[in-house]
């Protein structure tokens, strides 16, 4: 059995509606040490908190995802702040910039991301960052405010990775490292110091090979760890153990709980 900490999941997604309870119940016997369920807007953040109350291993992050910022009203930051007070909330996330789908609201995306970064710093919480086709602007904001946190589902180059490491932040890797054309993610995995690696699913999406195309779940992180171990000349157990410790450290979770 592999011991796994999944630092990025969306178990409130409708893809889990049929069997959520059965699946999550099974995790207590399948080596899942922790899962951070991420919010994407106010409602999903509340759902994330609710789910975290049901399972000891479940933690949550609250925040506005860049694709959902049209729902952010003038009180949104205060609402996020209030939600973040919950004892299972370990981060502000997922927050960031995404210029892949929508490009005409860049200034608004930057404003809402920045406001949440400043809030996280005030609360002394790490952030979980989503950055897609927006690495330069993301780095500018991170360099300016120097939050603690992780670049989740990291899709940048080795050069961008080095910039992130200089800031003291972590790199989240998931299913993408197992994909057939995964040259850049594998280069990143190879160059990344193990003590800055976090493992994640982003489930229900990003299922690793050999589960690609199916619904993702935290136990599939074994395949990701296996691939990273291969390129780093380590054992899967070494990769998992260090990544798990990194998660406990960044998210300030007592490993003995
Ligand atoms: Ni996500």
Task: Provide the greatest CA pair distance for the chain.
Answer: 50
Q: CA angle 255-222-179, nearest 5°?
A: 135
Count of other CB atoms within 10 angstroms of residue 127: 27
Contact present, 61 and 93 (Cβ < 8 Å)? yes
* CA of residue 197 to ligand 1 center, whole Å: 17
* CA of residue 153 to ligand 1 center, whole Å: 8
Residue 43, CB-side half-sphere exposure with 13 Å CA sphere: 5
* CA of residue 207 to ligand 1 center, whole Å: 13
pLDDT in tens, the chain (257 residues): 999 999 999 999 999 999 999 999 999 999 999 999 999 999 999 999 999 999 999 999 999 999 999 999 999 999 999 999 999 999 999 999 999 988 899 999 999 999 999 999 999 999 999 999 999 999 999 999 999 999 999 999 999 999 999 999 999 999 999 999 889 999 999 999 999 999 999 999 999 999 999 999 999 999 999 999 999 999 999 999 999 999 999 999 986 55
* CA of residue 17 to ligand 1 center, whole Å: 17
Taking the C-alpha atoms of residue 230 and residue 92, their distance in angstroms, rounded to an integer, is 32
* CA of residue 10 to ligand 1 center, whole Å: 7
* CA of residue 95 to ligand 1 center, whole Å: 9
Place of tokens 């193990």: 194
* CA of residue 250 to ligand 1 center, whole Å: 18
Taking the C-alpha atoms of residue 13 and residue 109, their distance in angstroms, rounded to an integer, is 23
**172: closest CA among 7, 48, 55?**
7
* CA of residue 94 to ligand 1 center, whole Å: 6
Helix axes 76-84, 42-54, angle to 10 degrees: 10
* CA of residue 173 to ligand 1 center, whole Å: 12
Taking the C-alpha atoms of residue 36 and residue 241, their distance in angstroms, rounded to an integer, is 17
* CA of residue 38 to ligand 1 center, whole Å: 7
* CA of residue 234 to ligand 1 center, whole Å: 28
* CA of residue 74 to ligand 1 center, whole Å: 24
* Confidence at residue 92, expressed as pLDDT on a 0 to 100 scale: 98
* CA of residue 175 to ligand 1 center, whole Å: 13
Token pair listed for 54: 């049901």
Taking the C-alpha atoms of residue 55 and residue 22, their distance in angstroms, rounded to an integer, is 12
Burial class (CB in 10 A: 0-12, 13-18, 19+), 7: buried
**34: closest CA among 6, 62, 65?**
6
Taking the C-alpha atoms of residue 19 and residue 199, their distance in angstroms, rounded to an integer, is 24
pTM confidence score? 0.97
* Confidence at residue 254, expressed as pLDDT on a 0 to 100 scale: 85
């Amino acid at each position: 059995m592999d011991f796994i900490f999944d630092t990025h999941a969306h178990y409130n997604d409708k893809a889990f509606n049929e069997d959520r309870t059965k699946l999550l119940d099974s995790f207590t016997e399948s080596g899942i040490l922790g899962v951070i369920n991420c919010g994407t807007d106010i409602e999903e953040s509340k759902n994330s908190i609710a789910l975290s109350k049901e399972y000891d291993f479940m933690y949550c992050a609250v925040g506005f995802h860049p694709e959902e910022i049209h729902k952010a009203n003038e009180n949104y930051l205060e609402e996020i702040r209030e939600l973040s007070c919950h004892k299972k909330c370990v981060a502000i996330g997922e927050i960031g910039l995404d210029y892949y789908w929508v490009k005409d609201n860049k200034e608004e995306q930057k404003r809402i991301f920045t406001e949440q970064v400043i809030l996280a710093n005030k609360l002394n919480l790490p952030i979980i960052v989503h950055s897609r086709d927006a690495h330069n602007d993301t780095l500018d904001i991170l360099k300016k405010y120097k939050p603690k946190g992780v670049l989740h589902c990291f899709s940048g180059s080795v050069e961008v990775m080095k910039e992130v490491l200089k800031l003291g932040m972590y790199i989240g890797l998931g299913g993408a490292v197992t994909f057939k054309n995964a040259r850049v993610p594998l280069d990143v995995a190879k160059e990344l110091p193990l003590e800055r690696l976090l493992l994640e699913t982003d489930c229900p999406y990003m299922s690793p090979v050999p589960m690609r195309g199916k619904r993702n779940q935290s136990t599939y992180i074994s395949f990701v760890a296996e691939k990273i171990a291969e390129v780093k000349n380590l054992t899967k157990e070494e990769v998992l153990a260090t990544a798990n410790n990194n998660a406990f450290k960044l998210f300030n979770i007592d490993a003995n709980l």
